[in-house]
Each structure stands twice: as C-alpha cells, then as structure tokens.
Amino acid sequence: MLTNQASVPAGRHRHSQAVVALCRVVEVQRRRAAEQLGISETGLAALVLICAGDGISPSDIATELDLTSGSVSPMLDQLAGSGYIERSPHPRDRRRLLINAKPGGHHALAWATEQMDQYLRDVTAGMSEQDHDAIARFLSAATEALDG
C-alpha cells in the first residue's frame, strides 16, 4: 500500500531512503563478489545455501531460490566447475543427489562475506556502542517486518 509521502514524518522517510540505498549497494557488492568468484549471482545465492547445510538436494535449492529444476543443473555445473561444490548420491535414495560444498566453496563464501564485513567495519569504526546497538535493533526490526 502506498502512502502519501507528505504524511510520513521526515525521519521515517529518511530511514526508508537509507534502507533502499543500502539494499542497492548490497546488490552491487553481491554482483561484484559473484563476478570475482567467476559465478552468477544466483550461483552465489546457491553457494550460501549449500555452505549452510550438510547436503542439500537440487530440488531443495530450486525451491529455496524460486528456480526451475532446469535452471539449477547448469548453475550447479558452473559451481562444480569452479571447484566450489560436489555432487554425491543420496545415502538413502540412490536416485537423488546431494550437493555439498567443497573447501573451495567455503573459502569463496568466507571471502565474499569478509568483503562485506570489512565495508561495514570501516563505516562503523567511529560509532559508539549505543550507535551499534541502535543500528542492530533497527535492522533486526526492519528485517522482521519485511520478512513478514
């Protein structure tokens, strides 16, 4: 639902603008990280899922990322070709595959995460602990509200 911007207090509008700008910059950084790793942005999103678990099926990746099963296979080929993942038979159902991160995948994701962490450390270096707490509360509340 759209609101009349004139009825929104200036501070709230400023926060909204800042969040939108941050989201844009995060998207650019994710694109750059994916390019530097030699994979697609969707491949990077899949690598996050794969590294977070202990084996995930291609169909679960498709569901989580809202992709077709046909688009997952070439993406996994790209990740495997880059040395980031490996496919193995499911231990209880040989017709299915499990995707696991190889050490190179964990290293690549750690590198991409460190890039973003360093930017944030640089930005927040001069802020007080109270500022950090306020930012964390705001971002947590915003994430919860948007995640619905």
Is 86 inside any structural domain? yes
Residue 14 sits in a domain whose CATH number is: 1.10.10.10
In a domain, 45, yes or no: yes
Q: Is residue 28 part of a domain?
A: yes
The residue range of the domain holding 106 is: 10-118
**Confidence band (pLDDT; 50, 70, 90) for 12?**
low
Domain contains 3: no
> 100 near 55, Cβ under 8 Å?
yes
Confidence (pLDDT) at 11:
56
> Is the four-CA dihedral 49, 53, 56, 60 of positive or negative sign?
negative
Any idea which of 1-10, 27-36, 138-147 has the lowest mean pLDDT?
A: 1-10
Contact between 124 and 135 under an 8 Å Cβ cutoff? The reply is yes
| In 38-128, alpha helices (H) | 41-52, 58-65, 69-81, 103-124
Q: What is the pTM of this model?
A: 0.79
Query: Which is it for the CA torsion 126, 130, 132, 135, positive or negative?
Result: negative
- Domain assignment of residue 22, yes or no: yes
Q: Strands 97-101 and 85-89, how do they pair?
A: antiparallel
DSSP state of 70: H
For the chain, give the percent of residues with pLDDT over 70.
Answer: 92
Query: Between 61 and 7, whose confidence is greater?
Result: 61
Residue 136 lies in a domain: no
Per-residue pLDDT tens digits for 27-85? 999 999 999 999 999 999 999 999 998 899 999 999 999 999 899 999 999 999 999 99
How far apart, in whole angstroms, are the C-alpha atoms of residue 98 and residue 103? 16
The total number of structural domains that make up the chain: 1
CA angle 141, 144, 148 (to 5 degrees): 140
Name which of 3, 14, 16, 26 is nearest 145 in CA terms: 16
- 141 lies in a domain? no
Which of 6-10, 37-41, 69-73, 114-118 has the lowest average pLDDT? 6-10
